[in-house]
Structure 1
């Protein structure tokens, strides 16, 4: 098969894991009380009317209020999608309407992998119905209707809404019951991309991924290439493997890759100690302890069962705790390895009265409100260290956990989530990834009726809305925004939409300080990409960095793929396209990308020049001047320093030259700067991250300034 002239490549059918009410107000699209100003992108886009947003995920729960169709118009002209569930029983069948206009499932790759026994365990193996909740949550975040009174156990009460609430939605189910940690397989992912392209989707939200791989061996990269070629904007999650360097996935340049950060809503639940010290945490626990009754506190390490290791007990792995030691007490567990809610279940099964979940050092200040099965609260690393020290020093220490509540205007916000995967891009370091960050912590959105809010087998609770965290949640925020941009600018390419989102982002929090990471240290573009998304500004970016299929094919040439293979990759089923002629001299960093990364800068001061071009998408002629914030130890020269556009639609080219300053850099260290094109009237500031690394052949590990 691999030798067939029309076969691009043969690679394993890899599996991939799956990686609201307040967030849109936090992003400035509405004001308190739901008021939408004329300058909001919602007003300009008519809330996404006429756009179709699809997702590749676990399916959809069609009965969710987010997918009702009252007041919706018909599907847009040219829509060819279907509701596929003809083989399902009446109860399981997904019925489409004017809101949910498409529903398909893809399971051949999954079924070929799992075997007959696992197939029999799968619920609804021939249905788009979502039995997990992940797909319903992400699709409603991107395109859900307005649903008043949305909450989880009374917390976060408000009107749920998607980014493009008037857009049509389509669900493509590619993820099933997990097998060895994977739910979504390449064969099904590629088939779903092909179907979505055929159906007429405008934007695809894809909250899944795996470890970075060569683009020709990555089903998501291949499928999204074809989507971009047909004008479909594909938005992907960056992954939840942070905060380590080089963990970002979905690194292809034709994708819009999204990291996750916090917003200004919290669900505080305090641990009150017997010395009257109050430690602030967060929780969405429905169950509560009697008011002001103190319970003995014990560290999970001290509550170790006879057959458990110290590490297992410390992490509250199921079955690792001694019931006699735990009964009636509040147990302090440490974050890591197993799911946060699983730790609470381990304490609950051992007879504990409550749980305090303390962050490990890597998680820092990132605390997440979860729907625990027992009274619980999640505290920071620093507070956890203090608490555990207090328990060691105090005999029979005691305390109680207060009832959670909803609090707004938290500061600082946003800051990067610890779990959000980080750059550099290990496949092509010349392309900065992730591209952008968006809210991804404690996001409230629609949920399935077939799983509890923890998503675990022991949870028999059922909810209409659920709060979830991950880059899976930030991804559909940006997909919804991309849908709005498509409604405002229907002629824009996926690359132009990406550029508008990236170049208008901000890198400051709500205290007007540089965005931080979960340890409250200064974050970098390896965490947030171009910055935190600003939807209203993205509708009027001034300039865009555009790219087309030819640009991406030339980028692949620069990676060393030959012309005939690239032509086959492009043609797919053989649609008559000629062989792409690879340019004689091209480097990956010359792709017309909205950020600039130079990972191989000479330590001897040699110049490294890259070229970019921008198109004026303003209302008329304009003049832009360049301002450079140089990376530490690197000189940056932009030529020309001024771009004069006579009319809208005109393109201009410029170069950016990097030189290492001898004695001012650490070899092998990544440093960051910024290029800003401004039209001088304060209206448009077109920002691009600059990333540079001076080569050090002796140094193997990654260093980040």
Structure 2
């Protein structure tokens, strides 16, 4: 009779299947052997050959690392036609090296499978020796293998600041908000969640959407009953972290989705926390704490432990989130800048986007330095951070009568200190780093009962206060360095303390140089409103991108300074072990805080425009952004003391997010998955590199060997133009864009252009006329260098904008021109 493959043990067939892949034999014909004896003989021969191959790794080092292995999706699909799960094949290939050692006296650590990825990336992660890794890379079907990497976290009144109100119009339409947004599910890849927090109450919510496929996974201090109609999913991923750092200590951090750090609880409630009246931190920022999309459902995917997030764990979290059915993914974390095909998080994010999931990332907290922005792929939303008009006033008065306004969240009943002597650097201690108030840098005999000046930087601001307090100091005045400019981030200090901007720092140090007997007092006035805002945070990472200069990044800015949101009641509000203060809400700053604002806005837009693609939602948010502050001036940069230093698209992308306008943007720029792949070809990625991102064999389209797609032709809502400042360099580029009418059926748009310095911009046609909703119109825009060579500075950039104006709509795209 004819051979039936499943009459034999699964492992036996898998060995033969693996062998056929290694030697590039015809997979289908190999399984069509007619006699069992032929099958056995073939497998025996192939198995002996494998022994010879794997014997080479018998002296492998006992040291192992975690690797992420990207597999050819087509081959895995072929495998699936015979077996239910590719995991069985992955396990077999990894175990081969365990049993083929030529040296019986040598005991080699076996490879260990950590995760398999199927939804947003095809492949697996495993702990391997160097030799095992090298052998795997030679197997047919392996597209790419790379060591695991660690990412870091980027660490309410803000809805009011954003113009969200419970009225009859706009995104927070009270009559239909619950019905619309409660069907949208936001996934958070973070430190987990504190499920009992009142912000995650399911009061008033309808049953869980029937399409939801996720679950709540039990673990340390976490059970299925911790989930409800608000928190509908909770999973945790730790194998990559433990492979790098060892087993998680359950007494410090729960080995479950429970959040003991606070970061994940804070970000989840920012985007989708339920309304909580009377929320505050020690009475400050008091009001109703409400997430941006406060009726949306939450799914928590814990992939970060003790502030570190392994890429292998992040990939597993994204893969599960997409399979579970999230609509939006929010990731407040960042890693090193690297090409997309080497960045597993960007690979998985492309897979998520292609399946209709909107993905937002924080831009990073490495500002104000140029080219520090992370998470720059065109298929993700990259979010910068900016200020609110709310502050927490901590005021300094010197004995010479000079007064300086700063920022502080000091929780004592003491509203004012006495006038106390000021000490700084050599008058506070004899060590070289005394001015930064590092541990053991201060002399108790010099600082006892005095106010210590401490420079910002190196260690955490609240730790500096603890250092001062431990040395006997009575107060602390934190001083910004030039890099931090006038950025005033509030912290819950452990002693009377406030933060001052760089101009005040310079003045106070000058006064102290001239008057050694200078004294100071610190007064605390609580919450204040009306500050000039928004202003881009000094810490917010900046462009241009080193990985991909053909896209403007970040994309957008959103509130990220002094954000009040939910907090685990068991976690210290400062993460200082000696700080026993606890609270249900905490005030934090970072692009970690700005990212969930945009995630929540995306969820609201998705609830209204259910058929919009992630690219269309992203376009709506970007083209509707505003660029002026509450004083009517262009938005400024907090990293500089000059308030007329306006930001550029490399600091805030298209501008500050404007939720209600994003709901009805007029026009959108849409992008397909195939467009992204063509774009990768245009920036000189090889077929193999694009194949890795495509998860299938991909050949870049070409015309007689030349690319058919320009980088500038990606239908992105902004324009990045590169000119090379060399003789003979290209002097003109023409790019194409296509917009879709989502505003009014019959409408015309006229073009307005603000030309960047040194460049002429022309658009054809100058008028777009639409007859119906959903109609698409295309235009071409040309950028031409004007006059002679603009500059000898190869890093010079100039900026402008292109705006389509029609009726009530203004659809704006920033332009960034860079000479290299």
TM-score bracket, normalised by the shorter chain, equals over 0.9
Cα deviation 1:216-268 (Å, max 9, x = unaligned): 22122112111101100001100000000000000000000000000100111
Aligned with 1:332: secondary structure? Answer: strand
Cα deviation 1:172-206 (Å, max 9, x = unaligned): 0000024xxxx001101111111000000000110
User: Is residue 12 from structure 1 mapped to residue 12 from structure 2 by the alignment?
Assistant: no
Distance 1:59 1:471, change over 3 A: same
Q: 5+ residue gaps in structure 1?
A: 572-576, 696-705
Query: Residue 102 of structure 1 corresponds to which residue in structure 2?
Result: 233
Distance 1:121 1:76, change over 3 A: closer
Query: Residue 246 of structure 1 corresponds to which residue in structure 2?
Result: 371
Q: Following the alignment from structure 1 to structure 2, what is the Cα–Cα distance between the partners of residues 343 and 564?
A: 50
Aligned 1:436-585 pairs, distance under 5 A = 436-518=556-638, 519=640, 520=643, 521-563=645-687, 565-571=689-695, 579=698, 581-583=700-702, 584-585=707-708
Structure 1 residue corresponding to 2:291, chosen from 162, 165, 172: 162
**More displaced, 658-667 or 398-407?**
658-667
Structure 2 residue corresponding to 1:314, chosen from 417, 435, 440: 435
Aligned with 2:745: secondary structure? Answer: coil
Structure 1 residue corresponding to 2:220, chosen from 81, 88, 98: 88
> How far off is 1:660 after superposition?
1.3
Q: Following the alignment from structure 1 to structure 2, what is the Cα–Cα distance between the partners of residues 405 and 123?
A: 33
> How far off is 1:643 after superposition?
1.1
Structure 2 residue corresponding to 1:143, chosen from 272, 275, 279: 272
**More displaced, 512-521 or 560-569?**
560-569
Q: Following the alignment from structure 1 to structure 2, what is the Cα–Cα distance between the partners of residues 523 and 97?
A: 43
Q: Following the alignment from structure 2 to structure 1, what is the Cα–Cα distance between the partners of residues 241 and 785?
A: 50
Q: Following the alignment from structure 2 to structure 1, what is the Cα–Cα distance between the partners of residues 208 and 661?
A: 29
Cα deviation 1:511-567 (Å, max 9, x = unaligned): 010111012211111000000000000000000010011111111222333445534
Cα deviation 1:424-448 (Å, max 9, x = unaligned): 0110100000000000000000011
Q: Following the alignment from structure 2 to structure 1, what is the Cα–Cα distance between the partners of residues 686 and 419?
A: 70
- Contact 2:571–2:582, Cα closer than 8 Å, also in 1: yes
Query: Residue 101 of structure 2 corresponds to which residue in structure 1?
Result: none
Q: Following the alignment from structure 2 to structure 1, what is the Cα–Cα distance between the partners of residues 233 and 581?
A: 29
RCO comparison, higher one (Cα < 8 Å, 6+): 1
Distance 1:301 1:490, change over 3 A: farther
Cα deviation 1:259-316 (Å, max 9, x = unaligned): 00001001111111122322111100113657462111111453124xx32xx21111
User: Is residue 415 from structure 1 mapped to residue 546 from structure 2 by the alignment?
Assistant: no
Q: Following the alignment from structure 1 to structure 2, what is the Cα–Cα distance between the partners of residues 151 and 596?
A: 42
> How far off is 1:3 after superposition?
3.1
Q: How many positions carry a matched residue from both structures?
A: 670
Cα deviation 1:322-364 (Å, max 9, x = unaligned): 1110111111111112111111111111111111001000111
User: Is residue 75 from structure 1 mapped to residue 208 from structure 2 by the alignment?
Assistant: yes
Q: 5+ residue gaps in structure 2?
A: 1-135
Aligned with 1:430: secondary structure? Answer: coil
> How far off is 1:455 after superposition?
2.1
> How far off is 1:622 after superposition?
1.8
Query: Residue 65 of structure 1 corresponds to which residue in structure 2?
Result: 198
Q: Following the alignment from structure 1 to structure 2, what is the Cα–Cα distance between the partners of residues 82 and 242?
A: 38
RMSD: 1.8
Query: If the length of structure 1 is used for normalisation, what is the TM-score?
Result: 0.92
Aligned with 2:748: secondary structure? Answer: strand
Aligned 1:122-521 pairs, distance under 5 A = 123-124=252-253, 126-178=255-307, 183-287=308-412, 289=414, 291=416, 293-305=418-430, 308-309=431-432, 312-410=433-531, 412-518=532-638, 519=640, 520=643, 521=645
**More displaced, 107-116 or 290-299?**
290-299
Q: Following the alignment from structure 1 to structure 2, what is the Cα–Cα distance between the partners of residues 301 and 655?
A: 63
User: Is residue 594 from structure 1 mapped to residue 717 from structure 2 by the alignment?
Assistant: yes
Distance 1:582 1:123, change over 3 A: farther
Query: Residue 574 of structure 1 corresponds to which residue in structure 2?
Result: none
Larger C-alpha radius of gyration, 1 or 2? 2
- Contact 1:190–1:219, Cα closer than 8 Å, also in 2: yes
Distance 1:579 1:133, change over 3 A: same
Aligned with 2:636: secondary structure? Answer: coil
> How far off is 1:644 after superposition?
1.3
Query: Residue 674 of structure 1 corresponds to which residue in structure 2?
Result: 801
Cα deviation 1:141-171 (Å, max 9, x = unaligned): 0000000010001101000010100100010
Query: If the length of structure 2 is used for normalisation, what is the TM-score?
Result: 0.79
- Contact 1:16–1:184, Cα closer than 8 Å, also in 2: yes
Distance 1:290 1:534, change over 3 A: closer
